[in-house]
A and B are shown apart, each in its own frame.
Chain A
């Protein structure tokens, strides 16, 4: 599988040129098809004196589609499938001893063969013969051509690599022939189809509609991709760490085993991470909700339209600032500020200058995240409060309530379900936020109720486990996917519930 991409894109001489030039041929053919189809339709109309069903451009597009679509589809499938078949063939021809080793080692060997094959393609004919006969040091020779082969080159490898190259050459020739023939075939067939009564427009429109449908299902494909990829990796993780230990473990200590050593598995307890995530999210909401809600109420109920037009965009700037900037702000400004001020307070209270707030702490991360969330709360709530019917305001004011009483006793209760929905959406954002916590929350996974100490979150650990050198077989790496799916499920649940509430509420007044 790994070799598949390499073989399409990585520069290895003739093959790459061939795929690209085939593409070019098809594009030229399709362009010619458009012109020819158009001209033929026009010619038929003028010679036979019949009125054509569609405008002549549609006949051109019809030929274009038939020339390009089938041939490009075949080209794509060929590019995707042929490396798999070729690798399989080469692999089956390898000595028995190689076929029985572990999967990871096998892919290593295949990578080596692949590198040698790429190198062989760059050699001249004489060098090539010499290399295959084993009379020169292949490794040095390839090194000269800019191909570094890791590890020893075994005796069977040059031969296998030669075979790989031969298969690839055959495949690429066949591919070019098949694809170009298909293009020409489509061209001729579509050209023959052109008659004044042929409904070219309807046919072209069917293809367009198909393309539109395909594009809209990308969203589904993405979701399926997320779920499938995470479930499969999580499954592999759970084969080495029992799910119960993961979901209910209270110790997070994923010791990275030394290379090649699988002995120390470490402990993967989700609870401390989840606690940190929720704690930081709660602190963030404590900052964001009062500020955001009061700002929204003031903006929708009291502010003049002039003030609104200035303040609202300014607050929304906060939402447009990348989270990495907030992270940096927390790391270099807010964290040190809280640390110093706590030292000052401590000095005044006890005479001891030790600061009780650490620079990286739940408070720092939560506070800065709260700032980031203010515009989400305020603009969502603003929309909801504005949507409360004017008649309710008028009724309350008419009965003699002051403006603030109207807001608190009439408008707020009416808007409450929507606001709750908005807050849930905001909370899901707080839980999934990454960069602020990576920089400001710390990496120590522990259970604590002291907001002045660092705690860590699910997202921080996903980043930690997946940066650096990766091995896709160790639980240390795979745990990130288990964490990811946990995060995905939590935020998905919050979003679903929030959208449900918002939609239900909206119906009440419409």
Chain B
């Protein structure tokens, strides 16, 4: 302290000049180090933005689909020229419906019906799915025959892409899928207000289809829901029971150690191995049907169990021992202590863990490929035993399709999948925020 009173300036000055401890260099290194950290975080966030950005920018257009309002004349000459529909029930099923739609559009555009080439080009502007649509209308209401009704029909996938600006119209006409003539008609229809982009309900209700405009994730969503149901019904009780045993009852011995090691390892086993297990045990050995959501549900149950068990055990561990002592002290048995006191207090944590496990199962693809869920399923599965497909598997199948319209659909399906996952995860977070207790 006494030094400070005697000529402080000269002493301090001399010391600083003489001893170079590289402070500048070290501070520069410090700044660099921090910059690396920031760059790493920025890169991570950039990748996230890029990933979500590309998916959304490619996929948001899938939620709108081009439709044409065509005055369809259900001409008796085309549907039923010989007037035999009363005797022949198959007639209404096999009639040439696309021609009806085509004729309607020709009239709308004012084209000469004798110009075969133009007529064919017009026909290609309407989705092949119009056949089913018109057939269902006629079968449901045969009195339509002979009348003219305006019907909203889907435009074909190429026209849809062209209208959305996804087809480069500056390319030579021969090298793209829509001709200049079709584009002109398209513009004309848009000007008239007969061709508009509507909200794409088909994306949510249709099943698999080789035509992009009539392909949807309806069947896949049902399949995924079946599987989520099975996972919930099986994995939640089994997982909770297993965790209760391990956390509250199990004696410390080799058997429980073995179970612990097993659970930790199963959590890290590649998901595709569970697919092999499902194939060998459920399909090959037990003879369950391939492509069924039941098998998928069982495989995903085994896969999610470790996640649920680990989360539940953490939740049980977080309940303070004083609760247990109090319950036991008042004369409760161990089982009563667990089921009446510990488990209700741990319930929010268990629920959160379960939702996260379900979200993980919902996004899983690889094991489902092996048990045959890569299937072209058109109709809704009536039960978990019917062939079905799952949302991520549908994405995988569409990702392999070359057409531009399928890229859009794939991104749209990914957006739907991510929306499901986001809802589940946000629910989990909210549950945790709302019910979490700090002891």
Contact = CB atoms under 8 A, between A and B. Distances in A.
B44 A378 contact: yes
Interface string A314-342: 11011011111111110111000000000
A459 B54 contact: no
Contacts of B269: 226, 432, 488, 491-492
B280 interface: yes
Contact of B270 (A314, A402, A459): A459
Interface in B222-255: 237-239, 241-242, 244-246, 249-250
Nearest to A329: B51
B273 A487 contact: yes
B45 to A, nearest CB: 6
Interface in A144-195: none
Nearest to A288: B44
Contact of A3 (B271, B287, B369): B287
Contacts of B58: 332
B33 A407 contact: yes
Nearest to A481: B276
Contacts of B245: 209, 212-213, 215-216
Given A291-B43, A327-B399, A371-B51, A466 B279 contact: yes
Contact of B273 (A212, A291, A438, A488): A488
B51 A294 contact: no
Contact of B55 (A291, A325, A408, A425): A325
Count class of interface residues, chain B: 35 or more
B70 to A, nearest CB: 34
A428 interface: yes
Contacts of A438: 366, 396
Interface string A49-78: 000000000000000000000000000000
A490 to B, nearest CB: 9
A363 to B, nearest CB: 15
Contacts of B33: 403-404, 407-408
Interface string A374-407: 1100100000000000000000000000111101
B48 A322 contact: no
A202 B333 CA distance: 9
Interface in B251-273: 258-259, 262-266, 268-273
B116 to A, nearest CB: 39
A4 interface: yes
Give the interface centre of A229, A302, A323 by most chain B CB atoms within 10 Å: A229
Interface string A289-301: 0111111011100
Contacts of A226: 269, 273-274, 276-277
Contacts of A133: none
Secondary structure type dominating chain A contacts: helix
Nearest to A490: B270
A459 B289 CA distance: 24
B189 interface: no
B210 to A, nearest CB: 18
A41 interface: no
Interface string A445-482: 00000000000000100110011000010000000110
Interface stretch (A5-13, A121-129, A239-247): A5-13
A297 B43 CA distance: 15
A358 interface: no
B286 A298 contact: no
B286 A205 contact: no
Contacts of A291: 40, 43-44
B272 A487 contact: yes
Given A6-B287, A320-B363, 12 more contacts: A213-B245, A215-B238, A219-B242, A229-B276, A292-B44, A298-B40, A374-B47, A402-B30, A404-B32, A432-B269, A433-B270, A480-B370
Interface of B: 26-27, 29-30, 32-34, 36-41, 43-45, 47-48, 50-51, 54-55, 58, 237-239, 241-242, 244-246, 249-250, 258-259, 262-266, 268-277, 279-281, 284-289, 302, 305-306, 309, 333-335, 359, 362-366, 369-370, 372, 374, 385, 392, 395-396, 399-400, 407, 410-411, 414, 417-418, 421, 425
Per CB-CB distance, the 4 closest pairs between chain A and chain B, nearest first, are: A432-B270, A298-B37, A322-B363, A229-B280
